[in-house]
Amino acid sequence: SCLRYRVTGLAAEGAFFAIVSVPPLVFALAGAIELNRALDFTCQICNAVDHAHRQGVIHRDLRPANVLVTENDMLKVADFGIARAGASEITQTGSVLGTAQYLSPEQAQGLEVSEAADLYSLGVMLYEALTGRVPFQAETPVAVALKQVSEQARPPSEINPQVSPALDAVVLRALAKDPADRYADMGELEAALEKTERALAFARAEYGDHDALVGFILDDLATLNYRLRRLDEAAAEGIDAAAAAA
């Protein structure tokens, strides 16, 4: 049940400008939401940010206020205002880019930032969607940033008992302090979420909720078709590049 859409844009001089068509009646994503919806929304964000990453662009400020939800539950990732192409360090003035509650540990320390920073921020967003709160809270942004670096998040299931141990593991891996311990990319995180979502659908079917299982299977087929199209597009791009180099 991961709806897909493409974000197109222009990358120039380190800036990325997203060009999206935003339907009316949009609102910012915020707060706790129903479990299936949280997984679906996170999958959509994975897909959108993965597209930006494949263009060499890191968002650097993923947070609920930068995600718009249409009346049809289609998500649009917005505000690439501090996005940059490729890995880089803090700004020349020494200021740390990002929002403290969603800031990755490496951003908080002013270290080199890669795509893994966006993955951590999305982990915080998923945690908040599942529990209604961010993993680290404090009175000042500096204190929050210090917690991002030094404290471990409580498993979401301690706050929301509906969260399974498998989903706990997915969230906590996304929130790993060391970027190398997180998922390799947004695609791997999305696959882990889809596996968890599939298990949830089958579990519900055991209790008689067959409509949920049928819906998931249909969405799973749509996901497979989408990925096959992406493989075809990548193959076509490779052929074109080879032909141009010949």
Query: Strands, DSSP E only, in the chain?
Result: 8-12, 15-19, 27-28, 57-58, 67-69, 75-77, 84-85
Catalytic residue among 61, 118, 185, 219: 61
Residues 6 or more apart from 162 whose CB is under 8 A from it?
Answer: 35
Phi and psi torsions of 88, nearest 5°: -155, 175
In one-letter notation, the amino acid at residue 237 is E
Contact at 8 Å (CB) between 75 and 122?
Answer: no
Q: Is 61 a catalytic residue?
A: yes
Cα dihedral 107, 111, 116, 120, rounded to 10, equals -30
> How many Cβ atoms from other residues are within 10 Å of residue 133's Cβ?
16
| Catalytic residue IDs | 61
